[in-house]
Every structure is written in structure tokens, then in C-alpha cells.
Structure 1
Amino acid sequence: MQQRKLGPFEVSAIGLGCMNLSHAYGTPPSAQDSETLLLRALELGVTHFDTAALYGFGANETLVGQVLAKHRSRFTLASKCGMTGVDGRRVIDGRPATLKRTCEDALKRLQTEVIDLYYLHRWDKQVPIEDSVGALAELVSEGKIRAIGLSEVSADTLRRAHAVHPIAALQTEYSLWTRNPEIAVLDACRALGVSFVAFSPLGRGFLADAIQTAADAEALEPRDIRRGMPRFQAPDLADNLALLPAFRDLAREAGCTPAQLALAWLLAQGEDILPIPGTTSIAHLAENLSAAALRLPAEVLARAHALINPATVRGPRYNAATQAEIDTEE
């Protein structure tokens, strides 16, 4: 597979977001199916695996450790701290002592001596970003992590953090239907030499035909986080669904699937952009990774951009409560 720079590392252009093997989108797959998918990703050339302490409240790190620890030299391991499960609740806590304790727990669950890229999952606005990044810098000095990342932060917060310790990567949502990074943070990353990792590059499945009708959205499991996202709810959902037929037609014309078109568009936005789509399906895994080899005409990518963009997509990406927890430009 095509390779790209992830901070000091060289990894597959498309990585694997491991979250939905344990978290967020309803009932996760069995342990056996999850193991099969992780190993198949490795076989297909994925060398960038992304997990977090939050996912499954530690279960996802445990899964990744149990399955991939014996192959540790073959991939770059990314995980996250600063947002964890406490007594069954999601808690944002960026205090230095908490971050260090989370890292120690993560190293045990991941069955590794060092985490290659360790993100602050959310900036705890009660704690100066300089203090949280300072704690991560100490973990670098101690040899427990190799590089520092940030997730869902603004350009200003990135610059403040980078002044304390070099930031290797910034991770936030980026896709045809979520363009917030284009406001400011993508330019800031490029000015500072920070790699950009795009999570939810398929619009949480929307750009991969996972939701084709209002009934599909209504049928989502109670624990599926999309049930609380305005874009998947009336009245915004109907307008968003109306975008899909022309997008499917364009993908068919280009000789690829809608998911591959969405990923090809994202990869074409810059060599410094690394998508990490997640999936529970072996077939979808192969489909997604095949997008790295696509070379679609600029005219096709421009038409995709014109079809699905901030002017055509309806609704914010998060509800008000979640939006208040993040720091990205809107």
C-alpha cells in the first residue's frame, strides 16, 4: 500500500480506526470476529492502528493488545488518554496525574513497552493545555510514548501545545461532509509540520451507504452514538439522504464504490492526510483499503466536492452537549 508520514513514522496511507470493534456503534462483533479483522488488516498492509482508553472503557486496548502484541514490530500503534470511562460514565480529565495513570494502564492492556503515538483525546478545558501536554512530554522522556498527538482541538490550541513539545499529529473528523479542519487547523498543521489524521472519513458510514433511508436511521441500536447526532435525525436526515443518489451515480461512473470515492477524495486533499476508517466487516475493510490505489480524475473529485459539502449537508455534527466538550473551529 501507498505510504505516508505520520509524524516521525511511515505508515500505510489508510489506517484502521479500531473503535467500533468495542464501542459507539451498537453491539460490537465477537472477540473471534474482531481478531480475524485485525489480523486481516495487518495482512492487507495496514501499519497504522488507532485505539483509545475510552473505547469500550479499556476493552478496545485490551483487544488490540491480545491480538496484535505478537506482531508489535510490524505496525505503528496509536492510542489516546484524557477521556476515559469512570464508573460507567465517560469522563474528560486532562490532569497530569490522570494522564500518566491512564498511560500506565494502557501499556498493560496493549501488552507493549511503548506507545508510538499518544493523543490527548479531548482537551480538558479546566486544565491548561500546556499542563496536559507537559505531562505527555514527561512520558516521552521516560520512554513510555514516542510522540504526542492532539484530538479535536483548534489551531490556537495546537500552537500553544506545540510550543511546549512538538506535536506529531492532530486528529479530528474530516470527510466530504465534515470540513471543519479546512477553517484553520489544517493550515496550522501544515505550518508546524504536524500530520493530520482524519477520523470518520466516511461520515460515520453515511458516505458508505450504511444509512440509505430514514428507516435505517430509526433502526440503529439504542447505544449507537449516531442516534444523538443531528445529521442522522429529522429534519436534517431527509435533506442529507437526498444527496446520496447523485453521489452513488458518480461513484458508479468512476468505477468505484461510494466509500472508495469518499476516501479517494480525502487522500487527494494532501499527502499529509491519513484517513482511519473503521469497520466490523472484512469485505468493507478490503473495499476501504483499495481506495489507496485509486487515481480518480480531478473532474470526478471536483464533482464529489460539489455534491457533498458544508453548503449541502444539513445539521451540526454533534449535539449541543458534545459540541461544548470539543475545541474545533465551527
Structure 2
Amino acid sequence: MRTVELAGLTASAEGLGCMGMSSVYGAADWDGSVATIRRALDLDVTLIDTADAYGAGHNEVLVGRAVAGRRDEALIATKAGMDFSTGRGKVVLRGTPDYLKRACDASLLRLGVDVIDLYYLHRVAPDVPLEESVGALAELVEEGKVRRIGLSEVTGDQLRAAHRVHPVAAVQSEYSLWTRDPETGVAAAARELGVALVAYSPLGRGFLTGTVDVTGLAADDGRRRLPRFSEEAARGNAAITEAVAEVARAKGVTAGQVALAWVAAQSDRLGIPVVPIPGTKRVRWLEENAAALDVPLTEADLDRLDGLAAGVVGGRY
């Protein structure tokens, strides 16, 4: 597995998103998820991504147990600032320094570690100046509880403002063949400042693999609430998955591998490290995803895939 530098931290060029192991995508599988995280480390997939909001802390506990005894092999990224404790499906964005510092202490405890490698502000709270929130993260670095800081789903101006308070190692945003928002927003600022883009949902929440039947999603699957996963939108978006599948068939690989290879290939075009963090709770899919970075895409492939986003039916949310 290739590596990238995140402001002095060496991370794998592809990471593992752990959210779905605890929430959003159906029932949790503790043993299977632990095995998947440990297999990731075996494959040198070292960037392990979690958050305190995933499963109301369950996910951090899971990650902590999975990396126990192998802490030096993992680069643990977690987040704070999205509070779901007010009730199911209701989120309050919190960014006060006191809240973030207490959240960090709680995350350290759940993870069972002495320091968090990469600590993100999960979302910018509308009622707290961003500089105050970032200042709190900077103090956590000074206290030795955090190594590097990151931001999630921010604009270019927000990234610049935060970076003036403390260097930002990475911005995490949804980015894939069918979600290209960072290209017209935060990417330019990230390039100016030397900040990496960590791409979540690089498989379009599974849709780009061509294996998702939207009519068969479990009742508690969070994708049921997303416009792109309605039956009507899925019919319209089938042309996108077929185009990805055609490229995959020509190469003897899977559609998911092509989608991931496309995301990783955008590093050169955007001029910043782009690190996809596909999520899975199964070793089988982890191994398939990890092999995706070895899939060669020609200029013709990239040109063909580049225009698919223009045909997307349905918004992100």
C-alpha cells in the first residue's frame, strides 16, 4: 500500500471508514468488524477513520478494541462536533472549546489510547466562531492529546480561516465519481495550504459498485432517506453504474475498484493528496477495496468517467 504525508503524519494512500460498522447501514457485527480492522492493518491500510457520533460512541470503542496491541500500526482519525444525544436522527452542531475538549477526553477513553493522530472538527457550528473551535483543537495539540487537526465539510474560506489559527492537516469531504463538490470549493484552498483531501463515501455509499438494490435496503438503512436512493433516482442513475461497470469489465476488475481508482487518481489533477476512505464491515470488501489502487486507469478511462457526475439524478441530502 502506498503512503501519503498528512502534515508530517504518514498515512496509507487508502483508509478504512468505520462508520457503517456501528450505524447507518444496518445491524452491527462486532466480531466481523474487528476482524476487518485487523485485516486492514495486515494490508498496511493504516488510516482508520471513526467519530464519536458513530453509534453514540460504539464505533470508537470498537476501533479501540480492534487496534489494541497494534496501536503503532494504526493512524487513528476521529471527530467531534456532531451531537446526536438529543434524540434519534436529531443532530446539534457543537463547537465551543469546552465541549470539544470534553469530547476529546471522552474519545481518548473510548479508544483506549493516549493520543489521537488526527482530530477533526466534524462540522462547523453555526453559533460558534470557527476560530474559537480551531483554537480549542490547537490547545489539544499543545497538551499532547492530539497530533494533527482536520476539518470536515468546510468551504475554502473556512479552511483558510482555520489554517491561520493552526495548520490543518486534512479536510474530509464527500467525494466520488458522482459527488464532485470539493473541486469547486475547498480544493483550491487545500492546494494553496498543502492540505490533503480525505474522501468519504468514495463508492457513492455503495451505489457505484452496481451491487445496491434500493428496493431491498433494510428499514434502518440510512440511505433510504437520501434522494439519490429513491427508486426513481436509482433508475436514472443506472447509466452511471453501467458506465463504471463497462470500464471495469474491460480491465477484469470490479466497478468498485474502478470508482476508487478514479478518486485516488484525482491527486495529480487537483494538486493535493486525495485519500479515499471506503467503508465496510466485511473482510472480503476490504481486500477488494485495498487492491483498487493497483488498477491502472488510462487517460481515455479518466475522460470517460469524468463526465458521469453531470448526469446524476437526486441531491446528496
Q: Provide the TM-score with structure 2 as the length reference.
A: 0.95
Counterpart in the other structure of 2:60: 61
Counterpart in the other structure of 1:48: 47
Unmatched 5+ stretches in structure 1? 319-330
Q: Indicate if the aligned counterparts of 2:67 and 2:74 stay in contact, CA closer than 8 A.
A: no
Q: Indicate if the aligned counterparts of 1:155 and 1:184 stay in contact, CA closer than 8 A.
A: yes
Find the aligned partners of 1:36 and 1:91 in 2 and give their Cα distance: 33
- Asked if 1:84 corresponds to 2:96, the answer is no
Counterpart in the other structure of 2:106: 105
> Superposition RMSD on alpha carbons, in Å?
1.3
Counterpart in the other structure of 1:322: none
Find the aligned partners of 2:80 and 2:314 in 1 and give their Cα distance: 29
Cα deviation for residue 8 of structure 1 reads: 1.7
Unmatched 5+ stretches in structure 2? none
What SS does the aligned partner of 2:76 have?
A: strand
Q: Provide Cα deviations, 1:258-300, integer angstroms capped at 9, x if missing partner.
A: 0111111111111600000001221111110001122221211
What SS does the aligned partner of 1:104 have?
A: helix
Find the aligned partners of 1:6 and 1:52 in 2 and give their Cα distance: 19
What SS does the aligned partner of 1:243 have?
A: helix
Counterpart in the other structure of 1:301: 302
Q: Indicate if the aligned counterparts of 1:254 and 1:300 stay in contact, CA closer than 8 A.
A: no
Counterpart in the other structure of 2:148: 147
Counterpart in the other structure of 1:259: 256
What SS does the aligned partner of 1:79 have?
A: strand
Q: Indicate if the aligned counterparts of 1:81 and 1:99 stay in contact, CA closer than 8 A.
A: yes
- Asked if 1:246 corresponds to 2:230, the answer is no
Find the aligned partners of 2:60 and 2:174 in 1 and give their Cα distance: 21
Q: Provide Cα deviations, 1:21-63, integer angstroms capped at 9, x if missing partner.
A: 111111122x111111111111111111010000001000001
Which range is displaced more, 270-279 or 246-255?
Answer: 246-255
Q: Which amino acid aligns with 1:6?
A: L
User: 1:233 is matched with which residue: 211, 230, 234?
Assistant: 230
Q: Indicate if the aligned counterparts of 2:261 and 2:295 stay in contact, CA closer than 8 A.
A: yes
Paired residue total: 311
Counterpart in the other structure of 1:18: 18
Counterpart in the other structure of 2:34: 35
User: What is the percentage of aligned positions where both structures have the same residue?
Assistant: 50
Q: Provide Cα deviations, 1:98-154, integer angstroms capped at 9, x if missing partner.
A: 111110000000000100100000111111101111111111111100111000111
What SS does the aligned partner of 1:177 have?
A: coil
Which range is displaced more, 259-268 or 81-90?
Answer: 81-90
Cα deviation for residue 255 of structure 1 reads: 2.2
Find the aligned partners of 2:241 and 2:197 in 1 and give their Cα distance: 27
- Asked if 1:4 corresponds to 2:11, the answer is no
Q: Provide the TM-score with structure 1 as the length reference.
A: 0.91
